[in-house]
Amino acid sequence: MSENILEIKNLSVEFCTFDGVVKAINGMSFDVPRGKTVGLVGETGAGKTTTALSVMGLVQSPPGVITEGEILFDGEDLLKAGEAKLRKYRGDKISMIFQNPMTSLNPVYTVGRQIANVIMQHQNVNKAEAEKRAGDMLEVVGIPRERTANYPHEFSGGMRQRVCIAMGLACNPSLLIADEPTTALDVTIQAQILNLMKGLKDQYDTSIIFITHALGVVAEIADYVVVAYAGSVIEKGDIKSIFTNPLHPYTRGLFGCLPDIESVESKRLQIIPGAMPDPMNLPPGCKFCKRCGEAMDICRVKEPEEIRVDREHMVKCHKYQGGGKDE
Ligand code: SF4
């Protein structure tokens, strides 16, 4: 048995639009070790959600098309699995939680019925047993089981997200993908949801991909960090390597945007100038080149390759490839 529950290898996804081809994912590769949480970080347009939808088999085609790559789940390539098998996996072995719980929950059914439906779809249990388990799951996420009879609008935002987590974990999946699950919540509720997810990960031994644009959230929950930019991974490693020794100029820029609450001096936050390149017109060399203060001539023409810094730490940048010499 592989030490990784999920291996994404060289994944590329395009969307054909009237204006041209949008290259949303460009050779994305990373692994999710069993029982660990991987924080997938990057700004809007980095390809985080498209990667998650590819794993779930939910890239809408047309206009989306997966042009290259493999997504190995427990050794099986999901891109070669048929729709029937993917449907069986979704909600059972792989679950996803979205940013806005109100769009994931059906407003006309009670939350108990919605969780019970997920259980009945994947497990051979009768309605009474599924409803009992739905109540059990609500209790697991800290909601009294009597509330199975309530509708989504009768819950607060934080409680709705707890309901979605209960639904996501109802069939004890091996992999949970959480797409910015705390972004729409206020800070105290965010902390409660993160604590809840950490506890549940240990209790159920679930592997998690936690998608976020916030490094502070990653520090709270992740064992490994994958930094995505313009549809590919530009740096990845264990949490300690990335937080103590970030190497890629973009990753260092992300840290520069964070306020330092321990500093006594008042300092202006650094910003990363410019914006992500147009996915319909990607530059030939390093995709970060136009925003990078350390760019060299080679960066404009040649895409950097993966450099393994140590066993757990990888960076894609010419600075570490040719000893930092300009060509
Ligand atoms: Fe900057 Fe060049 Fe490294 Fe890209 S490859 S991040 S442009 S130094």
pLDDT, tens digit (0-9, with 9 covering 90-100), for 96-154:
998 888 888 999 999 999 999 999 999 999 999 999 999 999 999 999 999 999 999 99
Phi first, then psi, for residue 11 (nearest 5°) are -75, 130
- Please name the helix (run of DSSP H) or strand (run of DSSP E) that holds residue 122, with its range, or none: helix 111-122
Q: Could you tell me if the CB of 249 is within 6 A of ligand 1?
A: yes
What is the rounded CA–CA span in Å between residue 97 and residue 198? 15
254, 288, 309: which to mutate for ligand 1, most atoms within 8 A of CB? 288
233, 234, 235, 289: which to mutate for ligand 1, most atoms within 8 A of CB? 289
Q: Whose CA is nearest to atom 5 of ligand 1?
A: 317
Q: Could you tell me if the CB of 319 is within 6 A of ligand 1?
A: yes
Read off the pLDDT of residues 8-45 as tens digits, 9 standing for 90 and up.
999 999 999 999 999 999 999 999 999 999 999 999 99
What is the rounded CA–CA span in Å between residue 170 and residue 113? 12
CA–centroid distance, 280 to ligand 1, in Å, is 21
Please, which contacts does 18-25 make with residues 24 or more away whose CB atoms are closer than 8 Å? Answer: 19/280, 20/280, 20/281, 21/280, 22/279, 22/280, 23/231, 23/279, 23/280, 23/282, 24/50, 24/64, 24/231, 24/279, 25/50, 25/51, 25/54, 25/231, 25/232
Read off the pLDDT of residues 160-171 as tens digits, 9 standing for 90 and up.
999 999 999 999
What average pLDDT does the segment 225-229 reach?
A: 98
Residue 210, pLDDT above cutoff 70: yes
Read off the pLDDT of residues 181-201 as tens digits, 9 standing for 90 and up.
888 788 888 888 899 889 888
Q: Whose CA is nearest to atom 8 of ligand 1?
A: 295
Read off the pLDDT of residues 254-288 as tens digits, 9 standing for 90 and up.
988 776 666 666 667 778 889 999 999 999 999 99
Type of residue at 17: T
Read off the pLDDT of residues 49-80 as tens digits, 9 standing for 90 and up.
999 999 999 999 999 999 999 999 999 999 99
Q: Nearest Cα to 167, choosing from 111, 216, 219, 222? A: 111
Q: Nearest Cα to 23, choosing from 58, 66, 55, 85? A: 66
- Please name the helix (run of DSSP H) or strand (run of DSSP E) that holds residue 97, with its range, or none: strand 94-97
Residue 107 CB neighbours (<10 A): 9
294, 307, 314, 325: which to mutate for ligand 1, most atoms within 8 A of CB? 294
Q: Could you tell me if the CB of 295 is within 6 A of ligand 1?
A: yes
Whether 44 and 215 have beta carbons less than 8 Å apart is answered as no
Q: Whose CA is nearest to atom 1 of ligand 1?
A: 295
Q: Nearest Cα to 29, choosing from 241, 287, 226? A: 226
What is the rounded CA–CA span in Å between residue 274 and residue 312? 30
CA 34 to chain centre: 15
Q: Could you tell me if the CB of 317 is within 6 A of ligand 1?
A: yes
What is the rounded CA–CA span in Å between residue 122 and residue 74? 19
What is the rounded CA–CA span in Å between residue 226 and residue 9? 14
What is the rounded CA–CA span in Å between residue 109 and residue 152? 8
What is the rounded CA–CA span in Å between residue 228 and residue 251? 9
pLDDT reported for residue 202: 87
- Please name the helix (run of DSSP H) or strand (run of DSSP E) that holds residue 39, with its range, or none: strand 37-41
Q: How far is CA 42 from CA 24, 80, 110, 180, in A?
A: 13, 28, 35, 11
Q: Which two tokens stand for residue 5?
A: 């529950």
Whether 221 and 212 have beta carbons less than 8 Å apart is answered as no
Q: Which atom of ligand 1 is nearest to the CA of 288?
A: 4
Q: Which atom of ligand 1 is nearest to the CA of 304?
A: 5
Q: How far is CA 163 from CA 113, 130, 198, in A?
A: 12, 15, 16
Residue 324, pLDDT above cutoff 50: no
